[in-house]
Structure 1
Amino acid sequence: MSIPFSNTHYRIPQGFGNLLEGLTREILREQPENIPAFAAAYFENLLEKREKTNFDPAEWGAKLDDRFYNNHAFKDQEQPVKCDLVQEMSSTSEKKEDERATALASPEEEEEEKEKEENAAVKIQSVFRGHMAREEMKKMKDKQENGEETK
């Protein structure tokens, strides 16, 4: 029960919003009849994945939100000038970090990549089928025109 003029403000735990967004997305995608049972199965599956891969989407989402809302680096107008040696060292360390990041892709990123590939394949297939249908229609029209001309 809430008190209308209370000073109490509840804080949403970090990552909780991301978990609810994921659940909502899956509910909208699947359209289950029993939403509480679907939510229980969804969270059970999420727990199993977390135990197997040691990847927690709530923690990952909290880190992303924290970086987005608390990163003030974009406010700096001028970058400090570095000497050539420091620039070379930083560029090599950035390359190493990029290589590590690509090697350690999260399961969610892999799923997103797979989904993108599937969507691209569906699009290519539909374009090809449309092309084939247009070719068939063109042949049918040609036959009809040639058939009418010979009559």
Structure 2
Amino acid sequence: MSIPFSNTHYRIPQGFGNLLEGLTREILREQPDNIPAFAAAYFENLLEKREKTSFDPAEWGAKLEDRFYNNHAFKDQEQTEKCEQEMAKSSGREETPVTAFEESAEEEREKEEFAALKIQSAFRGHVAREEVKKMKSDKGDQEKEEDNE
């Protein structure tokens, strides 16, 4: 981000974009009435998870971004394996308790995917029927022209 008429540039801290992206995704899923309160609860939940599992999603996101852009963060294999183990622990249902919020988010995601699939298939069917109608009308027009000649 830059300020007009200035030669200074502010840099976004590594991992910050990842945190905001996660918050934005949850806000769009839940559609809360009070966004600041929801954000506070969301970040509180992230802090609790980080304290329990010692896994920081902001740090992991920063490493992923670094790997994508210049592949420096994952040169140390020991550190990578440790992060992957922490990811597995945090995603495993047996080792970490799953809150109702996470379960409802997964169920909601599955419902959204199913609804999207239905909408897409209905639209594809509509497009195919329109093409068939067009082909039939073109064929009918050709037959009429042949009859007139």
- 1:97-136 aligned within 5 A: 105-107=87-89, 109-110=91-92, 115=106, 119=110
**1:53 alignment counterpart:** 53
Deviation track 1:24-50 (CA, whole Å, cap 9, x = no partner) reads 000000000000000000000000000
CA 1:46–1:102: 2 relative to 1, 3 Å: closer
Matches of 1:42 and 1:57, distance apart in 2 = 13
Runs of 4+ in 1 over 6 A off after TM superposition: none
Q: TM-score normalized by structure 2?
A: 0.51
Q: Is the 8 A contact 1:18 1:61 kept in 2?
A: yes
Give the equivalent residue in structure 2 for 1:21.
21
Q: Distance in 2 between matches of 1:6 and 1:101?
A: 40
- Looking at structure 1, the residues matched to 16 and 49 of structure 2 have their Cα atoms a distance apart, in angstroms, of 17
Normalising by structure 1, we get a TM-score of: 0.50
- Percent identity, please: 75
Partner of 1:32: 32
Counterpart of 1:10 in structure 2 is 10
One-letter code aligned to 2:6: S
Runs of 5+ in structure 2 lacking a partner? Answer: 73-79, 94-102, 115-149
Summarize deviations over 1:54-100 as a string: whole Å, max 9, x none: 0000000000000110139xxxxxxxxxxxxxxxxxxxxxxxx98x8
Give, in whole Å, the separation in 1 of the partners of 2:61 and 2:5: 32
> Amino acid of the residue matched to residue 24 of structure 1?
T
What are the ranges of 5 or more consecutive residues in structure 1 without an aligned counterpart? 73-96, 124-151
Cα distance in 2, alignment partners of residues 108 and 4 from structure 1: 43
CA offsets, 1:91-128, max 9 Å, x none? xxxxxx98x887654356547xx959x94xx97xxxxx
Residue type matched to 1:29 in 2?
A: R
